Structure 1
Amino acid sequence: MSQHIQPPAPESGAAEAAAGPLAYPAEPARTGNIGLGIAAAVVAALVAAAAYGGIMNAIDRQVGYAAVGVGLLIGFAAGKLGGKNPVLPVVATLLSLGAVYLGQLFFIALALADYGNVGLGEVLDKAGVGGLNDIWQEGADAMDYVFLAIGGFVAFGTTKKASD
């Protein structure tokens, strides 16, 4: 017949001491740095806008995957450096919308420079952002808005995932 011996009830603090080296402290909550996250997202947005416009100019059309890339880049920068602040996904979404839009304007400027056989600076000087916006509005179709939405959607989700 087997005899079962029950250990005595632990005294106050004895359970913690018994856990010893096997117990791991709780991981501190990552708060991140919202200012750094926003700054990184702004830089990423400017780089992504230039790359987006350049890619479209190189292949002479818009590509949805490039808008996804814009959102990924901005969201990753914001989330990784900014942490879990709930404002960052919204900021990244807005910056992504702006970056896709600026990328489309940059594409128009590059196309005009190629077409007119002039420098990009001359196009930007003569047309300005307002002129490029007018051209964009005249030629915008549903897909332009879909690309804006795709970039924003991806940026929001990527920011949340990158902050984990």
Structure 2
Amino acid sequence: MSQSALPPPQPEQQAPAPYAVQPGAVPPPPAPPAPARGNMALGLVAAVVAAVAAAALYGVVIGLTKHEIGWAAVGVGFVIGLAAGRLGGRNPVLAITAVVLALGSVYLGQLVGEAMIGADQLDVAFSEVFFQHFGVVQDAWKEEADPLTFVFFAIAGWAAFSGAQKAAR
């Protein structure tokens, strides 16, 4: 058979796109921007905010229960590390900063707890004890600190470091 005997090739006809934009249609709104990641400054700010909030919550837990609670110290550290790593990314400075903030947050939370307990015993306002007699609160903390108190510092630091590392992945 010769090539002249074959019918000429026909162009393929394509079916119209099922979701093609119709004339006069309104385009969909743009997708929201992805959350910021890898912004060290944002990670630091988030970690500081988380540290202050966690210290307050940890202090309230101590003040209400009149005991230090290990899982709460883990939570303090993890929340700070999570905030730093999730928004700040993989920068190792953030993980170290999260540890330092966790240690400070646990200390501040323990002071808040001491002040709450003292205010309850003296039947005065928490703010009076915490702000006007801060030295007395620190002295009370020093007297009641035992080895377990420092274990809670270590737990919070470990949780902050590991939380920052895991959140940055």
The share of aligned pairs that are identical, in percent, is 49
Q: Structure 2: how far apart are the matches of 1:98 and 1:135? A: 17
Q: Residues 66-108 of structure 1, C-alpha deviation per residue, up to 9 Å, x if partnerless? A: 0000011000000000001110100000000000000000000
- For residue 31 of structure 1, report the CA deviation from its aligned partner: 6.6
Q: Structure 1: how far apart are the matches of 2:63 and 2:130? A: 16
Residue 42 of structure 1: SS of its match in structure 2? helix
Instruction: Name the residue aligned to 2:133.
Output: 127
Structure 1 unpaired stretches of 5+ = 1-29
Residue 148 of structure 1: SS of its match in structure 2? helix
- Say whether 1:91 aligns with 2:91: no
Given the alignment, which residue of 137, 145, 151 partners 2:150? 145
Q: Structure 2: how far apart are the matches of 1:84 and 1:125? A: 38
- For residue 57 of structure 1, report the CA deviation from its aligned partner: 1.5
Aligned residues: 134
Instruction: Name the residue aligned to 1:18.
Output: none
Please give the root-mean-square deviation of Cα atoms over the aligned residues, in Å: 1.3
- For residue 132 of structure 1, report the CA deviation from its aligned partner: 1.7
Deviation >4 Å, runs of 4+: none
Residue 92 of structure 2: SS of its match in structure 1? coil
- Say whether 1:39 aligns with 2:36: no
- Say whether 1:156 aligns with 2:134: no
Residue 61 of structure 1: SS of its match in structure 2? coil
The answer to whether the Cα contact below 8 Å between 2:103 and 2:156 also exists between their aligned partners in 1 is yes
The answer to whether the Cα contact below 8 Å between 1:31 and 1:83 also exists between their aligned partners in 2 is yes
Q: Structure 2: how far apart are the matches of 1:115 and 1:151? A: 28
- Say whether 1:105 aligns with 2:111: yes
The answer to whether the Cα contact below 8 Å between 2:99 and 2:156 also exists between their aligned partners in 1 is yes
Q: Structure 2: how far apart are the matches of 1:97 and 1:126? A: 24
